[in-house]
A and B are shown apart, each in its own frame.
Chain A
Amino acid sequence: MPNTPLLSVERLQFERDDCNVFEQIDLTVDRGEIVQIEGPNGAGKTTLMRLLTTALQPTSGTISYAGQSIDLCRYEYLSDILYLGHQPGVKMTLTAEENLRWMAADSNASIQDALAAVGLAGYGDIPCYNLSAGQHRRVALARLLMTDAKLWYLDEPFTAIDKQGVSFLENCMSDHVKGGGAILLSTHQDLAIDGVRKYGISPHADQRGL
């Protein structure tokens, strides 16, 4: 099905405490696209990400993956996505290597290579509580090099990352979309990649105290 978009979201709404979080969302993401979700703090960017990853259930609206509602192809959909949230999911008491062996369990890619690529060569056997916040983030980012997921959801991926890390991540993202993947990310920074489509979301009238 070359004409169906990879992901399409129709009339998506989410209520929390009887208030809509954001204005209705209609969004499509095609293969090879990077979509940047923009909006003020509290606009519901993270909520949208969590709805798309099925961690939350939408109040109304549909999310379709390759033309099929994700309720009907849950296993395929969840096998094809990768979500990087605010909390990186890095276990402090495990080493970087153990964390990755764990987080990317079904991957054949080399953990050593992935760690070297994110600038953590030689840090593989140090418990993560001895690493800095930016380095934790880099451990989580190493997952991007080891995954076969087609659709990436990156929620504020640049948090605590230095300049070098930002350009690494941007390269990583453009490689992924060149290979036919798609990325949905939320960030307040402007990306140095061409062809990023911006999608603005705004808090619903309920949230503005009207």
Chain B
Amino acid sequence: MASGFSAYLRRDLLLAYRRRGEAASPLIFFVMVSTLIPLGITPESARLAEIAPGIIWVMALLATLLSTDSLFASDYQDGSLEQLLISPQLLAMPVLGKITAHWMVTGLPLTLASPLLGLMLSLPAEGYVPMMASLAIGTACLSLVGSVGAALTVSLRKGGLLLSLLVMPLYMPVIIFGSATVQSAIDGFAWSGPLAILGAMLAAAIALCPIAAAGALRLTSIN
């Protein structure tokens, strides 16, 4: 059972490594758009600092959404998804492996690159640690929730927009508590509360999303 998880984790990481340019595009989008904010709004650090937590979180969410589409698409096209569906092992474990690989390729680099953007958007010093902690947990939630939408829309040729509509409502709690974590830290309050709620969401998502995504894959394969 665990072998399905690690085998798919390793395979998807290898695939991402082979297509480095494509895999790096969410990160490049994240950095590029965030660079435009000071140019478009104001370079004044006091005003930037006010909006920095929200901006960073919105960009992280959009960058994740951008790459969720491709989670099962290539496997669907080349027939390996069908092979996965008829393998004897429990489907949720390989799916969780794929989601973990997706997070390691999108969410984790975003988290690691976020201090640079914090600097660019003059995020106050006390916001950095909460930002990285909330992004690490929050992007994992986004990958997990996104996988259900990606599984539901995998057989549609242009599923991108539908996917966004499906998962956007489920992304909202994540962005609310994610940016609240950073904001509370900047305002000098304890930030462990909103972060704990994010953690609880992650725990629920790890337990439920792979099963829901596996079910959705079986459902879409019927057509």
Interface of A toward B, CB cutoff 8 Å = 53-57, 74-75, 78-79, 81, 83, 85-94, 98, 102-103, 105, 127
Known: A56-B222, A57-B222. A87 touches B82 (CB 8 A): yes
B87 adjacent to A78 (CB under 8 Å): yes
- Mark out the residues of chain B between 9 and 45 whose CB falls within 8 Å of any chain A CB in the assembled complex: 11, 14-15, 18-19
B80 adjacent to A91 (CB under 8 Å): yes
B161 at interface, CB cutoff 8 A: no
- Residues of chain B with a CB closer than 8 A to A79's CB: 88
Point out the residue from A53, A74, A93 that lies within 8 Å of B15, measured CB to CB.
A93
Residue of B with least CB distance to A87: B79
- Residues of chain B with a CB closer than 8 A to A85's CB: 79, 82
Residue of A with least CB distance to B84: A89
A93 adjacent to B19 (CB under 8 Å): yes
Bound-state CA distance A53–B222 (Å) is: 12
Point out the residue from A55, A93, A98, A105 that lies within 8 Å of B86, measured CB to CB.
A55
A89 adjacent to B80 (CB under 8 Å): yes
Bound-state CA distance A90–B74 (Å) is: 11
B86 adjacent to A87 (CB under 8 Å): no
B192 at interface, CB cutoff 8 A: no
- Residues of chain A with a CB closer than 8 A to B79's CB: 85-89
> Can you give 30 A-B contacts (C-beta < 8 A)?
A53-B86, A54-B86, A55-B86, A56-B222, A57-B222, A78-B86, A78-B88, A83-B82, A83-B86, A85-B82, A86-B79, A87-B77, A87-B78, A87-B82, A88-B79, A89-B78, A89-B79, A89-B83, A90-B78, A91-B15, A91-B78, A91-B80, A92-B78, A93-B15, A94-B18, A98-B14, A102-B11, A105-B3, A105-B7, A127-B18
